[in-house]
Amino acid sequence: MPNRTSRLDAARGLIAGALSVLMLMGGDVSQAAAQPAHAQEEAIRAALAKWTADFNAGRTQGICDLFSHDLRYDYRGHPERGYDDLCGLLQRSLSDRTKRYTYALVIKEILVSGDLAVVRLVWTLKATRQDGSGESVTEEPGMDVFRKQSDGVWKIIRYIAYEASQ
């Protein structure tokens, strides 16, 4: 099992790689001057907070709005997937009356470069059976890449996540 230092080095490498991707994807730094970085970070925080509240309340309408239609994501141990896969999974999970799912979110860092941003975060998913027969808790560290859309809304275009080792 890797030690804390090697995990920190790996995380720093991921952030450096994500920043490189931002630059290669054409993040327009001149747009950053048009809106202070703090305001952009707050807009992203607000989008994540709204999504979390909607998910936890079981609101299926609009649950996919945080994600761009060109989404690609990787979750350790699963094949790469896209928007339709994720949206279907979210809809099915929230419609399942045998379980209750809730997410808690910890944002570790938001880096903004023009119309792109990288968010380093940890989601904690709790699944509880409605009959009271069991509960599971999963910690999911990850990184989300957001793109500011033409209407000014930030949406996730890429993300990577994995289940934390216990």
Q: What pLDDT digit, counting tens, does each position of 39-77 carry?
A: 999 999 999 999 999 999 999 999 999 999 999 999 888
Average pLDDT over residues 139-163: 96
Q: Which of 33-37, 60-64, 80-84, 87-91 has the lowest mean pLDDT?
A: 33-37
The pLDDT score that the predictor gives to residue 30 is 43
**For residues 131 and 97, is the Cβ–Cβ distance under 8 A?**
no
pLDDT at 12 over 90: no
What pLDDT is recorded for position 131? 87
Q: Is 18 exposed, middle or buried (0-12, 13-18, 19+ CB in 10 A)?
A: buried
- Residue 22, Cβ neighbours under 10 Å: how many? 21
Residue 157: pLDDT band by 50, 70, 90 thresholds? very high
Average pLDDT over residues 78-95: 95
DSSP state of 165: P
Q: Do the Cβ atoms of 163 and 76 come closer than 8 Å? A: yes
Measured CA to CA, the distance from residue 28 to residue 10 in angstroms comes to 27
What are the start-end ranges of the H helices in 25-116?
29-34, 37-56, 83-95
Structure tokens at 142: 């990850």
Structure confidence at residue 106 (pLDDT): 98
The pLDDT score that the predictor gives to residue 65 is 97
Give pLDDT, residue 76.
85
3-17, 38-52, 104-118: the lowest-pLDDT one: 3-17
pLDDT tier at 165, thresholds 50, 70, 90: low
pLDDT at 137: 94
pLDDT at 35: 60
Phi first, then psi: what are they for 50, rounded to 5°?
Answer: -65, -45
Residue 5 pLDDT > 50? no
Q: How many CB atoms lie within 10 A of CB 50?
A: 13
Q: How far apart are CA 157 and CA 147, in angstroms?
A: 6
Give the whole-angstrom CA distance, residue 10 versus residue 8.
Answer: 5
Query: Can you give the pLDDT at residue 108?
Result: 97
Domains of the chain as residue ranges with CATH: 4-161 (3.10.450.50)
pLDDT band at 166 (very low <50, low <70, confident <90, very high): low
Beta bridge partners of 123: 105, 140
Q: What angle do CA 11, 76, 113 make, to 5 degrees?
A: 45
